């Protein structure tokens, strides 16, 4: 009866398996850190976009009220009624575009690929 190569390795060199498990843990921690940072950045951009759009809508309401309250010939800077609400809305659209610019990759994709590589290596060793 032949012993599985992984069991032989565990019996003869247990430190190698411990080092390998430690490398897996480090890889998982790094992937979790990267994914959470990307997710947090995306949330901040979406939040900024929403706040800026809301500010722009408030300014649109104020501009409409000012336009309704004053006669057209008494408005000294009518362009300001357009520019002031438009500025935060444009910035909000840019924040929204930046949030969608980076596609969120699958979490732990590198770890999954490493597991698959190790599984195929073990299958090759066991097949010998």
* pLDDT at residue number 58: 97
* pLDDT at residue number 118: 84
* pLDDT at residue number 87: 96
For every residue of 83-106, DSSP letters joined together read HHHHHHHHHHHHHHHHHHHSPPPP
Tokens, residue 87? 């500025």
Return the number of other C-beta atoms located less than 10 Å from residue 30's C-beta: 12
**Are the CB atoms for 35 and 68 separated by under 8 Å?**
no
* pLDDT at residue number 1: 57
pLDDT in tens, 46-76: 999 999 999 999 999 999 999 899 888 888 8
- All residue ranges of the chain with pLDDT < 70 are 1-2, 126-128
* pLDDT at residue number 127: 67
* pLDDT at residue number 50: 98
């Amino acid at each position: 009866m032949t012993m599985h190569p992984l069991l032989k390795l565990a019996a003869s060199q247990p430190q190698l398996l411990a080092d390998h498990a430690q490398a897996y843990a480090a890889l998982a921690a790094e992937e979790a850190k990267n994914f959470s940072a990307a997710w947090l950045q995306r949330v901040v951009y979406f939040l900024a976009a929403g706040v800026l759009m809301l500010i722009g809508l408030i300014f649109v309401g104020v501009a409409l009220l000012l336009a309704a309250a004053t006669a057209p010939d008494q408005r000294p800077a009518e362009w300001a009624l357009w520019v002031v609400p438009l500025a935060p809305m444009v910035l909000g659209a840019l924040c929204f575009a930046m949030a969608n610019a980076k596609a969120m990759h699958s979490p732990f994709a590198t770890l999954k690929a490493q597991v698959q590589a190790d599984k195929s290596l073990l299958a090759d060793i066991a097949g010998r």
